A = this chain, B = another copy of it.
Amino acid sequence: MTDSDELLAIRAAELYYDDDKTQDEIGTLLRLTRWKVGRLLAQAKARGFIRIEIVHPRARKLQLERALRERFGLADAIVIPVADARDDEEIQARCAQAAADYLASRRPAPRVLGVSWGRTLHEVAQRLPSGWAPHVDVVQINGGVSLNKRAGMAESTAVAIARKANGTVRLLPSPAILERVETKRSIERDRAVAGVLNFARTASVYLYSAGVVTEDSAHVDSGYLTPSDIEALKRKGAVGDVVGRYINAAGEIVDSELDQRTLGLSLDQLRRAATGIAVIAGRPKHEIARAVVTNGLCTVLVTDEATALTLLAELDPSPSQPHQQ
């Protein structure tokens, strides 16, 4: 393409997109045939001179979604743009909204839904519309009794999700992390707790987020872990937690003793799930997001554009061999 053709392409694009002229009109104006105009416009698009953006709080990034699906073998991916977001909070809110939209639009609607808890899940629950599904039984998949402030948040999340789908809720009446392994073992055998855990295993869909290894963690807020516990986890290579279980970049439990004191679904059970929807967004969660998608810890990822780009940025871990034909 010559330089003057490039300039013509830009003039044509201006008349086409800004001025809503037809290719034929542009042809007359620029003394070209309408086919030439069509070709110029096609080239302008192909060379990336035309940028089309959808500006709306509910907009998504289909390109990135497809890339994530292909790269990490996900069943689905939801990516929300960050371009016009004012702050991190807005990104969180939009991701929660997107997760709610996604959950509500799933066909067939889940009959039994296993849910975790935390700030993110709480937001998702708030944003689900009433009647988002005909009837859903909600069950908690990890211990949820807060020890101090924010008491009842875990419960209210599950309750809200169930209520808005005219369903029942089964709460896990146990702390998230027990002090001694023996206590955890015995509470696990308790009829009420065991029943909920068994029911949780029958869920067709799981919905959860992931936590970071900082003092902002919901586990510190809830009083299950101390800042020094967090430091210790960090030293052991933890990049975050999924349903309360702290893992490293390879997806391995970093502290098996702590893990044995943690009550709820195991990571293997999560991995075996037909559908595991992980909602993970924001700069601080890039590392844990990577650990989750590279280790099969979810089948559906709801995230933001920046996180998606980071996940896709690094060289393919298993570079595809150049096939012959």
Interface, chain A (partner B; CB < 8 A)? 6-7, 10, 13-15, 17-19, 44, 48-56, 58-63, 101
Contacts and interface: CB of A to CB of B under 8 A. Distances in A.
Contacts of A101: 7
A52 B50 contact: yes
B62 A54 contact: no
State the copy count for this chain: 2
B58 A50 contact: no
A51 to B, nearest CB: 5
A59 B62 CA distance: 27
Contacts of A48: 55
A63 B18 contact: yes
Nearest to A17: B52
A56 B58 CA distance: 29
A52 B54 contact: no
B62 A15 contact: yes
B50 A51 contact: no
Contact of A56 (B10, B15, B19, B53): B10
B62 A7 contact: no
A53 B51 contact: yes
30 contacts: A6-B58, A7-B101, A10-B54, A10-B56, A10-B58, A10-B60, A13-B54, A14-B54, A14-B59, A14-B60, A15-B62, A17-B54, A18-B52, A18-B54, A18-B61, A18-B62, A18-B63, A44-B54, A48-B55, A49-B54, A49-B56, A50-B52, A50-B53, A50-B55, A51-B52, A51-B53, A51-B54, A52-B52, A52-B53, A53-B53
A52 B56 CA distance: 14
